[in-house]
Structure 1
Amino acid sequence: MKFFQRLGRSLMLPVAVLPVAAILSGIGYWIRSANGGDDNVGSAFLTAAGGALLDNLALLFAVGVSIGMARKSDGTSALAGLVSWLTVTTMLSPATMSALTGTAVEDVDAAFTNVENVFVGIVSGLIGAWCYNRFKDTKLPDALSFFSGKRSVAIVTAGVSLVFALVLMFVWPLVYGGLVTFGEWIVTLGPVGAGLYGFFNRLLIPLGLHHALNSVFWFDVAGINDLNNFLQGSEGDGVYGVTGQYMTGFFPVMMFGLPGAALAMYVTAKTRRRKVVAGILLSGAVSSFFVGVTEPLEFAFMFLAPWLYLVHAVFMGISLFVSALLPVRMGFGFSGGFIDLVLGWVNPMAQNPWLILVMGVFWFAVYFVVFRWIIRRFDLKTPGREDEDVLDEDAADAAPRSDYHATAERFVAALGGGDNIVELDNCATRLRMEVADVSQVDDKALARAGAAGTIKPGGTSVQVVYGLNVQFVKDAMEDVMQGRAPAAPDTTPAAAVVTATQAPAVVRIAAPVAGRVVRLSEVPDEMFSDGTMGPGIAIEPADDMVAAPADGIVESVFPTGHAVGLRLDDGAELLIHIGIDTVSMKGDGFTTLVQAGQRVKTGDPLVRFDRARIRDAGHPTITPVVVLNNPASRIELI
């Protein structure tokens, strides 16, 4: 599963460039159609600009996958993916096959005219990445030392790609021809056949074989010629009420269904990753709606959640089946998006096009509700929900959690060095700093060193989330900045090293303070509300006593009393933070009733606090309760 999550992440690189290219091509096509089908300067320019990427989609995947799947990638892995792609597609091109078989180019099997597809691009990228990972450190004898290391990668890649091309030389025509025969049989099934066509059209996209099936229904392979007959209108061989049945069902799903899926993926993404995925999902939805280019969205979850993609294929089949039954017909010249719908609205072959909008509203709701339920029910790793170790496994550089000096060295370096840190302090779980130059702060390096998150509130302020033992990291950072040797480890219970464990998926606790339970997203501090600190709940207190929510050990009590950290018996590391920004009250209004290292049972009092003083000081009293050692867990009150 991690392989597919990494593959899905790798596909985001080429997919991110597609929406703009699709829109440029669509507008160019729109201008050309409005000009009677003839190109002018505007349409030719826009179509060429968009086509530069869309027409080379498979090549983009070859390079992008090779970069994304390589460990500690550099330009060598991208070159390897390109070498593999060029080797395979050149070996299987009609010209090469003509030379190898002695037949005329026009007589070469049609399968080889469709070999530059996404499937070949992805496999080429995987070959390039594997060769890079395996051979980038290869050492050859002195006589061949020029070809050692990374220089050997492209050479090995070409050899492996030749083997892959040789296999495809025999397999590809059989698969391609079989699909054409299958499509010709589907034609005999009427509306059911249209539904089957829609299902397999989506199912074959990852392999690039949908073109073989499309040729049966859209062009004159089996006498249907649905696309051309629709575009020719009354001047062609189209039949009103029949022509368009193999295209109509794409419109509701492409214009409405997939944007509904994008919204579902956005609302189910982890809160702290929503900003990251919002751009690709929104641009993909716009591309799908206006132009009917669906790859940016489909490849966003195709490999991350293959079962969800199967549901999408089923929905597409149902849409084509229902459209074939209803008195609604529409066609396209580019794809099933808004632009083609507008252009085809007055086509003599169009029948009740307004029904497409009604069907679209239905499919938007279906995709949103079903995708949202399935993603949450089965914890599918759609964009923004990937496992953290998959996202960062190649860059992990964190010191052991008990080696605070090593962590401090990494933190200081990532913060731009000791000279860049003007002020250093900490609260219950995070470092609070003023730096001379915020641009020198490397968020990714901090994450690799063990930071759970970094926030820059504005100006020269920087906060780094670490966990309940942040005090020891802060002390070690001061040692590093002053050039002092690591302090001898403290053997008191408060500083004792505890073996790190991960919290369970569901942390069941009693409410630590009486009051109204609210969502963590309602906390007026983005470190809590966006999930950077960890998952959890918040409570608007109706009482002035915080009690132990479960049996465990008090791991830390902040000197100002505004926060307490617990390690529960089930392994969960819990933080209870009384109020927001209450560290500035310097203990006024807080009375701690326990000490670090003390064992507590459910209901034992931990901290007494004064709600009135907190409010008088201008701070919210809302109290977050978060799990620090498992971003995938959730709190359940008992």
Structure 2
Amino acid sequence: MFEKLQRLGKAFMIPIAVLPIAGIMLGVGAAFTNPLMVETYGLTKILGQGTFLYYVLTVMSNLGSAVFNNLPLIFAVGIAGGLALQEKGAAALSAAISFIVMHTVISVILGFQGYTPETTSVDYFMSQGLSALEATKQSNVFGYELGIFTVKIGVLGGIIVGVIVSILTNRYYDKKLPDSLSFFSGVRFVPIISVLTVALVGAIIPFIWPTVHLGISTFSEFFGRTGGIGMFFYGSLMRLLNIFGLHHAIYPLFWYTPLGGELEVAGKLIQGGQNIFFAQLADPNTVRFSAEATKYFTGGFLPMMFGLPAAALAMYRVADDKNKKAVGSLLFSAALTSFLTGITEPIEFTFLFVAPVLYGIHAVLEGLSYAILYVLDVAVGVTFSRGIIDFTLFGLLQGNAKTNYIWILILGIPTALIYYYVFKILIVKLDLKTPGRGDSEEVKLYTRKDTLLKEVDVSKVIEALGGKENLEEVDACITRLRVTVSDVSKVADSDVWTKELKAKGVFKKGNGVQIVYGALAEILKNEINKQL
């Protein structure tokens, strides 16, 4: 299972590569085109509608949104291609088609059940006698994916599709059909079996997911009633649900409905934590922002601005020396995205599946951050997420008297130190394969394919492995060629590998063989699979 999680972590790195720049564009663009922010700071002439910067920032925001709004599809394609051992292109295409088919099937069945965009709106549910909160909970189950009306299953849907398609690709990429259907044999069979299988999954989801989604929403209601303890569980659960994008089942209820509190501002009754904050921001008579309203998002500033960047530094410091240059650029961009915009997916997915224990600790630390900042009466608002941009706009520039932001700065360094040393110690003690360590597969360090292949004769490598007929599966990580053979006794001895085939070492266990080739491992894998 751990091996499979590591492979899944490697597959996640493919789509993750595009997230840092998309996150920065989205965070910067969204923050500086927010109408209330522009009006509050008197920047209408510079950033208001119709200005050159407004157009530029709007384009940036939309480009970033295009990536994050389609993360489920991106992960479906990336995971399928990443986990497929053969015919990766066919797997990726099959995943894209299957993802669309799954949500189309869900949409059709929702229609059979009487659910349409009109009958799932908040106004419709309220017209049926539900309260504003209950109507929002019901409506929040449904949404759109690629323009298709469906249920909000989020990234989890993409992961499900990606994993299913990769399994089917590995099993059926060489499937032989009867002569009358021979055209559909082999790789052409992959999209067929994928679509049929995922369509069946799509037919089941509408009967299960609404109950799961509503269960999560209902369970979350106790958070606001239990003070600091509730905030701890809120912060931790939000971080755990964020893995699959399921945090969307919770936070809107606190940001935009009476569940997040009610407060009279400038003579109007405002409901929802973020709504209250922005109403107070617009009210010149506001002396202090309500910490009761902001408690559902302020807690994220410590881990996003200080904790995760420190964790990235820890992962860089424990990476193998030969890999640090390559892994440094990945971790730096992910850390910068978290610090600048508060978008954490790029850095979290670098260790989520290769070292899930670290993610669990991260969730606990985030829960503590929510609890502590709530107890200390900190009230810093957010537009999109909790990076330095929002902290500056809605903390620093508002003044400590209004926000009590000073505690975020005071606790920032201790938070960074805790993340740094906890991550560093656990990675070393547990030998966790974070980027750049040992067999970690997340960072590719080579570019000179032709030059490297001159060092080793691929045909001789196959011969040393017992010949083509002895090979069952050929894979590789960043340093090792990983092969499953039918008969391990046919594999050449260590001397052949180290003296004749220029390997650094060879390890055998059961029917598994690992040959250490450094940067050449991945290239050898591809060349061997071509010959097979």
TM normalised by structure 1 equals: 0.61
Matching residue within 439, 457, 462 for 1:409: 457
Residues 605-635 of structure 1 show CA distances to partners (whole Å, capped at 9, x for unaligned) of: xxxxxxxxxxxxxxxxxxxxxxxxxxxxxxx
Partner of 2:500: 473
2:325 corresponds to 1:275: yes
Partner of 2:196: 159
Specify whether residues 134 and 313 from structure 1 end up closer, same or farther in structure 2 by C-alpha distance, changes over 3 A only. same
Partner of 1:240: 290
2:91 corresponds to 1:67: no
2:369 corresponds to 1:319: yes
2:130 corresponds to 1:100: no
Query: What is the Cα deviation at residue 178 of structure 1?
Result: 0.8
2:93 corresponds to 1:79: yes
Partner of 1:20: 21
Measure, in 2, the Cα distance between the counterparts of 1:190 and 1:445.
Answer: 47
Specify whether residues 241 and 471 from structure 1 end up closer, same or farther in structure 2 by C-alpha distance, changes over 3 A only. closer
Measure, in 2, the Cα distance between the counterparts of 1:156 and 1:206.
Answer: 28
Q: Match of 2:294, SS?
A: coil
The answer as to whether partners of 1:89 and 1:115 remain within 8 angstroms in 2 is no
2:38 corresponds to 1:35: yes
Aligned AA (2:277): F
Residues 468-527 of structure 1 show CA distances to partners (whole Å, capped at 9, x for unaligned) of: 7789528xx9xxxxxxxxxxxxxxxxxxxxx96679xxxxxxxxxxxxxxxxxxxxxxxx
The answer as to whether partners of 2:76 and 2:160 remain within 8 angstroms in 1 is yes
Specify whether residues 171 and 410 from structure 1 end up closer, same or farther in structure 2 by C-alpha distance, changes over 3 A only. same
Query: What is the Cα deviation at residue 308 of structure 1?
Result: 1.1
Aligned AA (1:101): Q
Matching residue within 175, 183, 187 for 1:138: 175
Query: What is the Cα deviation at residue 274 of structure 1?
Result: 2.4
1:349-360 alignment runs, 5 A limit? 350-360=402-412
| Contiguous gaps of at least 5 residues in structure 2 | 40-46, 121-137, 144-150, 262-271, 445-453, 463-475, 484-493, 510-517, 520-532
Query: What is the Cα deviation at residue 172 of structure 1?
Result: 0.9
Specify whether residues 223 and 500 from structure 1 end up closer, same or farther in structure 2 by C-alpha distance, changes over 3 A only. closer
Query: What is the Cα deviation at residue 234 of structure 1?
Result: 4.7
The answer as to whether partners of 1:407 and 1:449 remain within 8 angstroms in 2 is no
Partner of 2:237: 200
The size of the alignment, in residue pairs, is 424
Partner of 1:258: 308
TM normalised by structure 2 equals: 0.72
Partner of 2:222: 185
Aligned AA (2:62): A
* Greater alpha carbon shift after TM alignment, 107-116 vs 81-90: 107-116
| Contiguous gaps of at least 5 residues in structure 1 | 393-405, 415-442, 451-466, 478-498, 504-530, 533-638
Measure, in 2, the Cα distance between the counterparts of 1:65 and 1:449.
Answer: 20
Which structure has the higher relative contact order (CA within 8 Å, separation 6+)?
2
Measure, in 1, the Cα distance between the counterparts of 2:112 and 2:194.
Answer: 22
Query: What is the Cα deviation at residue 277 of structure 1?
Result: 2.1
The answer as to whether partners of 1:81 and 1:125 remain within 8 angstroms in 2 is yes
Residues 430-472 of structure 1 show CA distances to partners (whole Å, capped at 9, x for unaligned) of: xxxxxxxxxxxxx99997599xxxxxxxxxxxxxxxx977895
Measure, in 2, the Cα distance between the counterparts of 1:285 and 1:355.
Answer: 22
Matching residue within 378, 381, 396 for 1:331: 381
2:395 corresponds to 1:365: no
Measure, in 2, the Cα distance between the counterparts of 1:308 and 1:58.
Answer: 23
Measure, in 1, the Cα distance between the counterparts of 2:499 and 2:461.
Answer: 17
Aligned AA (1:9): K
Measure, in 2, the Cα distance between the counterparts of 1:502 and 1:390.
Answer: 24
> Which structure is higher in helix share?
2
Specify whether residues 449 and 154 from structure 1 end up closer, same or farther in structure 2 by C-alpha distance, changes over 3 A only. closer
Query: What is the Cα deviation at residue 166 of structure 1?
Result: 2.5
Query: What is the Cα deviation at residue 73 of structure 1?
Result: 3.8
2:141 corresponds to 1:111: yes
Specify whether residues 46 and 222 from structure 1 end up closer, same or farther in structure 2 by C-alpha distance, changes over 3 A only. same
1:451-490 alignment runs, 5 A limit? 472-473=499-500
Partner of 2:338: 288
Specify whether residues 2 and 27 from structure 1 end up closer, same or farther in structure 2 by C-alpha distance, changes over 3 A only. same
* Greater alpha carbon shift after TM alignment, 115-124 vs 299-308: 115-124
Partner of 2:103: 89
Backbone CA RMSD of aligned residues? 3.4
Residues 167-205 of structure 1 show CA distances to partners (whole Å, capped at 9, x for unaligned) of: 322221111111111111221101211111000001111
Query: What is the Cα deviation at residue 112 of structure 1?
Result: 2.9
The answer as to whether partners of 1:31 and 1:42 remain within 8 angstroms in 2 is no
Q: Match of 2:457, SS?
A: helix
Measure, in 1, the Cα distance between the counterparts of 2:19 and 2:32.
Answer: 20
Aligned AA (2:238): N
Query: What is the Cα deviation at residue 390 of structure 1?
Result: 10
Query: What is the Cα deviation at residue 58 of structure 1?
Result: 1.5
Aligned AA (1:117): G
Tell me the percent identity: 35
Matching residue within 273, 280, 286 for 1:226: 273
The answer as to whether partners of 1:84 and 1:125 remain within 8 angstroms in 2 is no
Aligned AA (2:340): F
Specify whether residues 350 and 156 from structure 1 end up closer, same or farther in structure 2 by C-alpha distance, changes over 3 A only. farther
Partner of 1:382: 434
Structure 1 ranges of 4+ moved more than 4 A:
234-239, 347-350, 388-392, 411-414, 443-450, 467-472, 499-503
Measure, in 1, the Cα distance between the counterparts of 2:10 and 2:313.
Answer: 19
Query: What is the Cα deviation at residue 296 of structure 1?
Result: 0.5
Specify whether residues 445 and 195 from structure 1 end up closer, same or farther in structure 2 by C-alpha distance, changes over 3 A only. closer
Query: What is the Cα deviation at residue 276 of structure 1?
Result: 3.1
Measure, in 1, the Cα distance between the counterparts of 2:391 and 2:479.
Answer: 49
Query: What is the Cα deviation at residue 135 of structure 1?
Result: 1.3
* Greater alpha carbon shift after TM alignment, 134-143 vs 248-257: 134-143
Residues 72-123 of structure 1 show CA distances to partners (whole Å, capped at 9, x for unaligned) of: 3431011111122112222334xx3542112442334532325251111111
